[in-house]
Structure 1
Amino acid sequence: MSTIKRGLKIEPEDIITFSGDLSKEVRVTFSVTNKSDQKLAYKIKCTKNDAFKISNAIDVIPSGQQRQITITYRPIAEEISDRHHIGIYYIPAPEGCTANSVWKEHYGPPCGEYRLRINMDPTQE
């Protein structure tokens, strides 16, 4: 029986905080772990692409493995509010596929989705 319903484990699981001097680039790292019994493809999107750069925004994770994702906040002219978030979507990935190819061929909603709220805290180092 497939355990895809367990999907991904995200750490931290609800909020990503960018802290310190927000007039400079600030990096935050979080982990994505495949808790299912099959290979999964994930895709990460953000509500403010000109302010946040995501490394490894699309990839395939074998069962039981983990990926580290780095998000870099790049200061922009407007103030970033706490209403922004990161969306992490996943689908099953057939053997031999690439992350780009499986997402190009996928139709319909993803099998699962997580949201990480973005918190901006210039008072914390």
Structure 2
Amino acid sequence: MPKTNQILQIEPPEALVFTGPFTEVVKSTLSLTNPSDYKVAFKIKTTAPKRYCVRPNSGTLAKGETMSISVMLQPFEFDPNEKTKHKFMIQSLIIASNMEEKDLWQEVDKEKLMDTKLRVVFENEVPAAVEEVPKEVDVPNNLDISTDPVTITPHKSNFKEQDPQVPPSGDNNFQRLMEENKALSSEVNRYKEELQQLKRVAMSETKTTAATATTLQAAPGPTGISLLFHETTNIILILGLLVASFGIGLMLSSRLGA
């Protein structure tokens, strides 16, 4: 009779591997082969019997027979940082001709009992969630980002706002031009007032002439000449005002350009 620690050939020989996810029953297979010329009985034990279901967990193997054993791991909450300490042990015993199979494991001679221990390995197919690192965003220097990621507050500038149409107060040439412009504007306003006064005088004389013509019903010639004279005066004044305005514009443009 052979003298060895285990008469059976076991696959895998070192560890039972269970591949997750472990939210449902996970199955692993154990293969037992009897290469001897004897009939061999086997029995499978585990350190965590509530976590595993083994089918079949015991039996006999004839000469050269191979049997596949299903080991089913019950669902559990998997922790990749926790190392499992679960183990399996396959015990085997050569059946003598005078042994009854039902009495094999009641009174076992320890010297004839052989065993092999297998460790348990958990492998998770689903990788741990990788925390996404936010991409760096270039933020303008004139912006302040508050603790709220949605709110962006404009940075207060150290410079006071200035009217873009007004140059710095230190420009003496511009100040001089502005003063001349005021003087020209005053002169234009004076021309306008004189024109309005002439119009009022002309209207008054026209009314007087019309009243005289109605009363006398004669001498229309002098009335027409008077009206023509007043209209001509108005036209001359208007033309003078336009020429003065155009000259003022040219003067400002040339000085600003200088």
Q: Same fold (TM over 0.5)?
A: yes
Deviation at 1:35, TM superposition (A): 1.9
- Deviation track 1:23-63 (CA, whole Å, cap 9, x = no partner) reads 11001112000122211111100110111111111101112
The answer as to 2:12 corresponding to 1:9 is no
Contact 2:37 2:64 in 1 (8 A): yes
Classify 1:83/1:32 alpha carbon distance in 2 versus 1 (closer, same or farther; 3 Å).
same
The runs of 5 or more residues in structure 2 that have no matched partner are 127-258
Separation of aligned partners in 1, 2:125 and 2:66:
31
Classify 1:3/1:64 alpha carbon distance in 2 versus 1 (closer, same or farther; 3 Å).
farther
The answer as to 2:90 corresponding to 1:91 is no
Contact 1:4 1:36 in 2 (8 A): no
**One-letter code of the match for 2:66?**
Q
More strand by share: 1
Contact 2:41 2:61 in 1 (8 A): yes
Matched position secondary structure for 1:48: coil
Aligned to 1:118: 120
TM-score (norm 2): 0.43
Deviation at 1:94, TM superposition (A): 3.2
More helix by share: 2
Separation of aligned partners in 2, 1:4 and 1:36:
12
Identity %: 23
The answer as to 2:40 corresponding to 1:40 is yes
Deviation at 1:83, TM superposition (A): 1.5
Larger radius of gyration: 2
Classify 1:109/1:27 alpha carbon distance in 2 versus 1 (closer, same or farther; 3 Å).
farther
Q: RCO (CA 8 Å, sep 6+): is it higher in 1 or 2?
A: 1
**One-letter code of the match for 1:16?**
L
The runs of 5 or more residues in structure 1 that have no matched partner are none
Matched position secondary structure for 2:103: helix
Contact 2:22 2:76 in 1 (8 A): no
Separation of aligned partners in 1, 2:28 and 2:62:
24
Contact 1:29 1:69 in 2 (8 A): yes
Aligned length, in residue pairs: 122
Aligned to 1:54: 54
Separation of aligned partners in 1, 2:60 and 2:95:
7
Classify 1:75/1:109 alpha carbon distance in 2 versus 1 (closer, same or farther; 3 Å).
farther
RMSD over aligned Cα atoms: 2.3
Deviation at 1:77, TM superposition (A): 6.1
Contact 1:4 1:38 in 2 (8 A): no
**One-letter code of the match for 1:14?**
E
Deviation at 1:109, TM superposition (A): 5.4
